[in-house]
Amino acid sequence: MSTEDKPARNANIFDVARLAGVSHQTVSRVLNNLPNVRPATRARVEQAISQLRYSPSPAARALVPRRTRTIGLVTPGVSDYGPTSIAMHFTVAARTARYSVDTVSALDADANGIRWVIESLLRQRVDAIVIIVVDSEVLEFIRGLELTIPLVAVAAGPKRGPHVVSIDQYRGARSAVRHLAELGHTRIHHLAGPATAPDAIERVRGWRDELAAQRLDVPDLLQGDWTAASGYELGHAMQLEPGIAAFASNDQMAIGLLAALRERDLRVPDDISVVGFDDVPEAPFLFPPLTTIRQDFAALGALIMQKVLVAVEEPDSATEDTPLSTKLIVRASSAAPQ
């Protein structure tokens, strides 16, 4: 039989994948009408199928990815508002995408504790791991990991990457300080979060840089630990000065600060303006209602899930994202100095 007489080879699933520029697993997901394929990708696959006149065989249909459709979520062993909100909204986004979430609390938030948790999740054959990072040492540790499954880190910081997502803590802090400076405050203190927490580090960096941009002196840093108790203690130790204002690194510390200022017979905002960070549900109902920086945790949860889906389905197309923006919420705790 001559070459001309040989029947043309039928296209297979790998031919379709090659023409569409995707993996054969993605082609299989389109063929089986499974979710979590981006519309543009699905259109490319369908066009390739049509162009090659591909008719899937039962064997090709069997190439559905053998996955558990489970994501391991590593949360810190604390009940702070930020990490708790991130975990909740990510779980909602995962369930919408028909994934289950196996949540593990890392009671020891250092590198060794995280290593143990990751190893336990790998034994459970999860499809991907998401880590809410609350310690800068852990962030550096996971950057050096080489795993057989995707790992997405939720972590603030100037270093970005295709598998790192965050809310822009730095610019959020700058907007808080800018608001106080534009009101006329010339002495803006900062009640910082834990010294090793990436969010706290970025908020300190934003505070310093905005003070420099406003040509204001940088007071000594007041180190807290996210708790209302630490804000209360720092509020009693703070020296009252003309034009004073305070930017607390989270709303919990701001709540403690407000209590301390009341005990000192200082009026907010007449004697001192206060700005928090997070916009906890109680913020509008404090006395006075708290000016704060709002974080969109629902958008962050959806972005984390999007990162996971891209990493699992189309790892070569992962891109670096800009951190999500924050929003200044002005309430009665900040005003021009008297």
* Helical pair 24-31 and 13-20, crossing angle rounded to 10 deg: 110
Structure tokens at 150: 């995707």
Integer Cα distance of 116 and 112 in angstroms: 6
Distances (CA, A) of 232 to 209, 229, 335, 337: 26, 5, 21, 22
- Can you give the pLDDT at residue 58? 56
Is the separation of the CB atoms in 245 and 187 below 8 Å? Answer: yes
Q: What does the CA dihedral 167, 173, 176, 179 come to, rounded to 10 degrees?
A: -110
CATH number of 70-166+297-324: 3.40.50.2300
Integer Cα distance of 43 and 266 in angstroms: 63
Element (DSSP H or E) covering residue 301: helix 297-313
Residue 3 CA, chain-centre distance (Å), reads 59
Structure tokens at 263: 């005990």
**Nearest one of 303, 310, 256, 276 to 36, comparing CA atoms:** 310
Whole-prediction pTM value?
0.80
Instruction: Return the number of other C-beta atoms located less than 10 Å from residue 302's C-beta.
Output: 19
Integer Cα distance of 174 and 122 in angstroms: 39
**Nearest one of 108, 76, 326, 73 to 226, comparing CA atoms:** 76
Domain 169-295: CATH superfamily is Response regulator (3.40.50.2300)
Domains 13-61 and 169-295 share a fold: no
- Can you give the pLDDT at residue 6? 40
Is the separation of the CB atoms in 122 and 71 below 8 Å? Answer: no
Element (DSSP H or E) covering residue 136: helix 136-143
Integer Cα distance of 166 and 218 in angstroms: 27
| SS3 (DSSP) at 201 | helix
Q: For 13-61, which CATH class? A: mainly alpha
For the chain, the domains span 13-61, 70-166+297-324, 169-295
**pLDDT mean for each 10 residues of the chain (338 residues):** 49 83 79 79 92 71 66 90 96 93 85 86 92 91 85 91 92 98 98 96 98 97 97 95 95 98 97 98 98 97 92 75 94 96
